[in-house]
Chains A and B, each alone.
Chain A
Amino acid sequence: MALLEKRDSGAVLIVDRYSKVEEDAATPESGDVLVSLERLEAERESLLARADSVGVWLRSDQSPSGLADDLGKIELVALDFPVFSDGRAYSSARLLRERYGYRGELRAVGDVLAEQLGFMLRSGFDTFEMASPNALEEFATIPKEVRVVYQPTGDGLATATELRLGT
């Protein structure tokens, strides 16, 4: 599994500094942790008071709306694609970026495939956990294959309509 971070010219491999806390384990005393939404809700105060970074991991059936107030203290939100065809995380990502103003790391995890990178980038993801052995190479080319976009999203790309009208 490789973790990629988007750059202007493609992506770079990065090291995952978070340790994922499994369901039945206790939250470690220190270090950067990635926890479930359930754990965040149960241990909210202690987690948000930590000196180290806290990330939250959402299943695809969990809405990010409950996080809105805490986003200033959360440095990573990981959204799961249990299968590539489960597209709920695209909506969650856009809500986090465009409605709740989340500026931290937004990570795509699960069945993250090269052919969907373009949609993920447009929805606001900036890091990607990918199983493909060619992930870096794929990232450099595939998302740029279709250059025109019609929909305004939080990524700020100029849409065809904006280009037409020069706005």
Chain B
Amino acid sequence: MYHYDEYDHALVKDRVAQFRRQVERRLSGDLTEEQFRPLRLMNGLYLQLHAYMLRVAIPYGTLDSRQLRKLAYIARRYDKGYGHFTTRQNLQYNWPKLEETPDILAELAEVEMHAIQTSGNCIRNTTSDQYAGAAADEIEDPRIWCEIVRQWSTLHPEFSFLPRKFKVAITGSENDRAAVRVHDIGLIMKHGDGEGAGEAGEVGFEVIVGGGLGRTPFLGKTIRPFLAKEDLLSYLEAILRTYNMLGRRDNKYKARIKVTLHETGAEEFARLVEEEWAEIKESSLKLPKPEMDRIAAHFVPPEFRALESRATAEEERAAGDPAFASWVRNNIVEHKASGYAIANISLKPVGLPPGDATSEQMDLVADLADEYSFGEIRVTHTQNLVLPHVERSRLPELYDRLLAAGLATANVGLLSDIICCPGLDYCTLASARSIPISTQISERFADQGRLDLVGQMQIKISGCINACGHHHVGHIGILGVDRKGEEHYQIQLGGSASEDASLGKILGRGFSADQVVDVVEQLVDVYVELREGDERFIDTYRRVGQAPFKEKVYGTA
């Protein structure tokens, strides 16, 4: 993974000192809250319902054990002993004290971390495939390019006051695990076709613009089928400049680039970008080969041992232990190196808020990473953790260690692996609570046999139309709304954020908090009854449409 050099270190240290001065001015009354607000937001410090919240960037979801231990330490020393992993591969502390936030940032800087641009109308933390560098289906490690984008976007003088926040996601694989079509810019690494879109065999990017969820969800559109690597930054600068000048600033709900693209038309927008790009393509933004190589060198894979692809220890244990077998089936993913596996650690235990981890759990995962995974950890946008490089033969030991710590929930990708925003328990904008809905669903579907029977399923819950819980792209999406002062929930079906991306459709009238879980259960029952072969929920839904689901939930019309 990437390690800071003297320049990266100097920048982050300077930024901490700057923020310390700003906080001092606020505490002395020299700055009003109104004047301080934009400054704290530039450093990820929000004011929430009950307290400040600090959002720490985990660039492209990659951590090493030393960093995770630091996050655990900060949670213990400065917060209430836990942190919350978000859908954007970040970590949030919900109870920091304002006067201590500069110290927290200084602690983070020690381990090459920061909170720069985790909020505000600027380019946010670039997200990526959580299996980058380990996935069997990957063309190239996308984190090289995420790091290049991270540096370019950090304190960008021109793009720190955009019309609205701006999110970039990069995937190195055709199986999109980074939800690139619902980002402001999504980049998919691909091979050139030798027929106009890149040289045959050359690796570059497909450029997708204007995806996003929120009040008006859009899937992004491809504005350039192939972009050479060396042109990445000049092309991004052209997109951002076009958006900065053109994006609406009169209405914050119409300010995202998805609306700019929609109102301008994708073709016209692409034309403007290409026109701008022609002017700066040959500028000093062109990436020098030595710099690309320098950054790529940080991401060379660890030295994997030459191993048999089959592991007897794993197979024997699975044969006699159905719980272990479930865990392997659901949480373990194929690795590119023979005899290795990618191990997901679910942060969705039955009955607890999705994405929360205690300091003890973080410390343990850091230790396990050192023992089993070359010290590497990943954070997923589905709010779980990953040990990316585990020897298959050691999976039984790893499982036992996780089990003892309550971290062996075997539900990754299943019904109770719910994505959920903080909702009314924390968020000032919320219309309804989302965490209790999520915990109730996980309690209803606590039985492993039933989970396995239902199979792959994504439930996503947002506490208001801002859609931080990505409900538009859930197979089942649940949206909290306020109906005459009461929490109410709307259900959508048929969304997906993967390579087959689609937006869900509203099922019908909404439900009260105590009805939601029953409705989810009814929807699941319809699917189990109607499915053919190994169809997932989404496949069955796409085949049969909404009617049978509606009928079950609302009775025949």
- Chain A: residues with CB nearer than 8 A to chain B? 63, 84-88, 90-92, 94, 99, 115-116, 118-120, 122-123, 145-153, 159-165, 167
Contacts and interface: CB of A to CB of B under 8 A. Distances in A.
Contacts of B5: 164
A152 B154 contact: no
Interface of B: 5, 7-8, 10-11, 14-15, 17-18, 21-22, 38-39, 121, 151-152, 154-162, 241, 244-245, 249, 279, 283-285, 288, 290-291, 294
A18 B244 CA distance: 30
Q: Which 9 A-B pairs have the closest CB atoms?
A: A87-B161, A122-B157, A160-B7, A148-B11, A119-B157, A152-B284, A146-B14, A145-B18, A90-B158
B7 A146 contact: no
Contacts of B245: 63, 88, 91-92
A90 B11 CA distance: 22
A120 to B, nearest CB: 8
A152 B14 CA distance: 19
B38 A84 contact: yes
A146 B18 contact: yes
A4 B507 CA distance: 60
Contact of A91 (B7, B151, B158, B290): B158
A99 B38 contact: no
Chief secondary structure at chain A's binding surface: helix
Contacts of B121: 85, 87
B8 A160 contact: yes
B14 A148 contact: yes
Given A86-B249, A88-B245, A90-B161, A146 B291 contact: no
Contacts of A159: 284
B7 A167 contact: no
Contacts of B241: 91
24 contacts: A85-B38, A85-B161, A87-B158, A87-B159, A87-B162, A88-B245, A90-B157, A91-B245, A115-B22, A119-B160, A123-B157, A146-B11, A147-B14, A149-B155, A150-B11, A150-B152, A150-B154, A150-B155, A159-B284, A160-B8, A160-B11, A161-B151, A165-B288, A165-B291
Contacts of A153: 157-158
A160 B121 CA distance: 24
Contacts of A167: 288
Contacts of A123: 157-158
B366 to A, nearest CB: 29
A122 B279 CA distance: 19
